[in-house]
Amino acid sequence: MAKFRTNHERTGKGSSGSMIVRVGLFSAIVGGLFVLFNKFTGNSVPDYPEDENIVRETENQDYWPESTTGAIVHHQYYSLSYSEKHEQAEWVAYRLNAEELKQPWVDRVDNFRPDPEVETGSATPDDYRHSGYSRGHLVPAADRAFSEQAMDETFYMSNISPQSSNFNKGVWRELEELARSWAKRNGELFIVTGPVLTMEPKGQIGDNEVTVPAAYYKVILDSKEPQVKAIGFIIPNEVSFDPLFKFAVSVDQVEELTGLDFYSGLLPEDAEQEVESSFNLDLWEFSKAKFQERIEKWNND
């Protein structure tokens, strides 16, 4: 012990400097290992610059339903209410804007990963492996293809739900593509979508016991005057050979099935009741060509 003290006293600042170097090297090694771990486990979160021209979704709460779980999560380009019981969102809400859709699309990178903003912990990509179900987007990646950050956020597992493969790439895809065409024509739409968690589920998958929903809903509002209009859809989580308009319903019908209240903060009460109680298919242009493509190709891919 005496020898150690003598050496320490004799080396003085040199020993202190050596210790600093060793600590610095150790920190650098640990930091490098952390980066590599995140890279190879798919948990990396890219460091995107803030875009001061983008209005955060957290500043636009008027079109959100109330959360039945109390677990609202805000991302830059959409918000959601997470259900820990079902390990997925009960709803996601976002604006679909024509100007954003007209931007060049960025490359898609399938960076599926847990959502760090879900306090109870979200589902993981492992829950879906070998389950027979697709990792189905609620906010479509293509709706957020105008920037790398916007698209990357859609791959949080809180925005993913187990969908039948032929549903995901068939009727659900057709509805997503139609919504984008409607937004391009109308300027901006307010969309809320999610799984129907009030129906008996088809089962559960993964260690986290992710609920496999029996159906999905989507409600779409065009709030532009003078012709404010809305439409809803309830579609079973299975392959479909029916035209998409067969699944169209009023927003009130979606509310009755899901127990959620849509657009109550966005429209005056009398206008809300009128818009949500009925819908007019003539005001929403459906595509016969898209339907034929689904029947002949997408359902069989």
3-state SS of the chain is CHHHHHHHHHHCHHHHHHHHHHHHHHHHHHHHHHHHHHHHHCCCCCCCCCCCCCCCHHHCCCCCCCCCCCCEEECCCCEEEEECCCCEEEEEEEEEEHHHHCCCCCCCCCCCECCCCCCCCCCCHHHHCCCCCEEEECCCHHHHCCCHHHHHHCCEHHHEEEECHHHHCCHHHHHHHHHHHHHHHHCEEEEEEEECCCCCCCEEECCCCEEECCEEEEEEEECCCCCCEEEEEEEECCCCCCCHHHHEECHHHHHHHHCCCCCCCCCCHHHHHHHHHCCCHHHCCCCHHHHHHHHHCHHHC
* Dihedral over Cα of 57, 254, 67, 116: its sign: negative
Catalytic annotation on 75? no
Q: Would you please indicate which residues are annotated as catalytic (active-site) residues? A: 137
